[in-house]
Amino acid sequence: MDNVEWTDIDLDNCSIARALEVVGSRWTIVVLREAFNGVRRFEDFHQHLGISPSVLSQRLRSMTSDGLLDRVPYREEGDRERHEYHPSAKAWDLYPVVVGLMQWGDRYLGDGDGTPVQLIDTNSGKPVIAAVVPHDTPTCAPSDITVQPGDALRTLPIR
């Protein structure tokens, strides 16, 4: 099997195509970005993203069904039970992919003013980059990464 050409490979069993069936929607990646940064409740996703409630409901249902989000009940005093959405281990395994997409977007699709946010390793104080590295190379755990304002950070108006 040493001289196999790429064009000889059967792509009916393509992992990339299967992964895109789960995460290929813009809203899936954006909801993951929010969840990775601590957004948990429907109202907060809705308000911060400006997504329609029906699209958000469908996306959260799909992401829960696909194992990307864990649906966790909570109850505010005097209110009915509601649910929060926490990233699952499966979602956290996508974190480097989301970081890579963000950094690719910063590099090639930015407005020239710099990056909106920067990821910093809290242990070393150094910026974090998405990279392909050998298997046994130490990596940063998401819990060791902080989000800091970048040169082009824009905030929403106070409501």
Q: From 125, 127, 124, 123, select the one nearest 114 (Cα to Cα).
A: 127
For residue 34, which amino acid is it? E
For residue 94, which amino acid is it? L
Q: DSSP for 33-63, please give it.
A: HHHHTT--BHHHHHHHH---HHHHHHHHHHH
Task: Count other Cβ atoms within 10 Å, centred on residue 130.
Answer: 16
Q: Which helix (H) or strand (E) holds 5?
A: none
Q: How far apart are the first and last CA of the chain?
A: 62
User: How far from chain centre, in Å, is Cα 149?
Assistant: 18
8 Å CB contact between 23 and 59:
no
Q: What pLDDT, in 10s, does the model give residues 33-52?
A: 999 999 999 999 999 999 99
In the chain, what are the domain boundaries? 1-92, 94-159
Sign of CA dihedral 27, 44, 36, 150: positive
Buried b (16+ CB within 10 A) or exposed e, 54-79: eebeebbebbeeeebbbeeeeeeeee
- Per-residue pLDDT band for 156 (boundaries 50, 70, 90) equals low
* CATH for the 1-92 domain, from 3.40.640.10, 3.40.50.12280, 1.10.10.10, 1.25.40.20: 1.10.10.10
Task: Count other Cβ atoms within 10 Å, centred on residue 145.
Answer: 18
Q: What pLDDT, in 10s, does the model give residues 72-99?
A: 999 999 999 999 999 999 999 999 999 9
Residue with tokens 């910026």: 127
Q: What pLDDT, in 10s, does the model give residues 133-154?
A: 999 999 999 999 999 988 877 7
Task: Give the pLDDT confidence score for residue 153 in this predicted structure.
Answer: 72
